[in-house]
Amino acid sequence: MDRMWFFVTSEDGRGVKRAFYATVLLACASYAIAQNQAGDTPVQAPTVAPRQPMTGQRMGRMGPSGTVPHNTKTTTVPPDTPVVTVHGVCGKPQTGNTCQTVITREDLDKFVSAFAPEASETARGRLAVQYAGMLAFSNLAEQRGLDQDPAFAKQLASQPKLLRMRVVAGLLMQNLQKQTATIAESEIQKYYEAHQNQYEEFHVRRLAVPVLAPTESGRRLDRPAIKAEMEDLRSRAIAGGDPNQVLLDTYKHLQIQATPPPASVMTLRRGDVQGDEAKALDLNPGEFSAVLDLPAAFAVMKLESKGTMPIESVHQEIEAILHQERLQDEVREVTKKISAEFNLQYLGMAAPPDIFSLANLRQSVSGRIQRRETRTTPGVKTSRGRAH
């Protein structure tokens, strides 16, 4: 079997990354969700081995047993203060007819200690969102009996509760991904036809002089001088001058101590450029832009040609977009009876977050958390009857 690591990464002030691992053996590949713009990598069902002790050395700079990250608020806010109240997820034991689970400050401390022991104070809001999402998804997975899969149920029972919740939450995400994976060709064709402007392709030639280019005299280039030379370059290019030669001549006139890059044709889509450069995409083929005064350079752009990308070249991209949309719709459907209230003041939030956006759920079930700063203080005692 392959070895799967649940891990969290940190960065200190110098950009040095650290990792903390809790080992779980998997029968398949990692079930962590890939974070990319196009779509998600299917989550694989894990087979969990009996619990293995985690030493201080294996956990990197985790600190003494029971420690939690330092937060000045933990010294002023009582441990039983509600941080998140998740409605629709019944607590154990359930109180009366109320179906909700309260995540207290102490519960959040333990979650942070387990998955992000070096998290800064500013990260606690994000971690609370991840905890709430994990709690809700693991509860829904249990309602579907996904945690009773004989392939790993017995071994899973021996794992720490928070780790078990994260694995079970991942099982539900895997289940939903499989349900929404098949996209009909007719849907892809319909999306392509409705979003033709997204699949325009432009072939552009860009002639530019960087403002900070090194000069023979060692002096910084004068912006008005560059603009004047670029106006001359544009006139010569419009008259039919070779793009590479006129750019080379411009470099020589400005006494730039460097060789200009080839004035090759670039293939662009609308999202690839912004501002004045994006306006060049509205030119007619063969036309030149005006001299563009950009923050780091002066440039002239020529639109050589444009067209629409064939559906075959964007088929996979559209399929991934539709899968993302369908997956998000399915998540909304299965979680429609669940909501969360956040202690915005304690967590430093301006507005309630969306715990069921795919971006937040990826963090909730993947175990990857970005954070900065290292702070630890003595731990707190475990309380019963609350999420932990």
- How many Cβ atoms are within 10 Å of 77's Cβ, its own excluded? 17
Task: Report residue 319 as tokens.
Answer: 């399929």
Q: What local confidence, expressed as pLDDT, does residue 94 receive?
A: 64
pLDDT confidence band for 97 (50 / 70 / 90): confident
pLDDT confidence band for 203 (50 / 70 / 90): very high
Length of the chain: 388
Q: What is the mean pLDDT of residues 77-90?
A: 94
- The per-residue pLDDT for range 312-331, each reduced to its tens digit, is 999 999 999 999 999 999 99
Report the range out of 43-52, 60-69, 154-163, 171-180 with the highest average pLDDT: 171-180
- The per-residue pLDDT for range 126-183, each reduced to its tens digit, is 999 999 999 999 999 999 998 888 877 777 777 888 988 998 999 899 999 999 999 9
Strands 82-87 and 200-210: unpaired
Is the pTM higher than 0.75?
Answer: no
Please give the single-letter amino acid code of residue 129. V
Q: How many CA atoms lie within 13 A of 59 on its CB side?
A: 19
Catalogue all structural domains in the chain, each as residue range(s) with its CATH number.
2-183+320-377 (no CATH), 194-308 (3.10.50.40)
Proportion of the chain above pLDDT 70, given as a percent: 73
Q: Name the CA dihedral angle for 358, 360, 366, 367, rounded to a multiple of 10 degrees.
A: 180
Q: What local confidence, expressed as pLDDT, does residue 65 receive?
A: 36
* CB neighbour list of residue 7: distance below 8 Å, 6 or more residues apart: 19, 20, 21, 22, 367, 368
Burial class (CB in 10 A: 0-12, 13-18, 19+), 97: exposed
- The per-residue pLDDT for range 240-284, each reduced to its tens digit, is 999 999 999 999 999 999 999 999 999 999 999 999 999 999 999
Q: How many CA atoms lie within 13 A of 378 on its CB side?
A: 2
Report the range out of 8-22, 87-101, 343-357 with the highest average pLDDT: 343-357
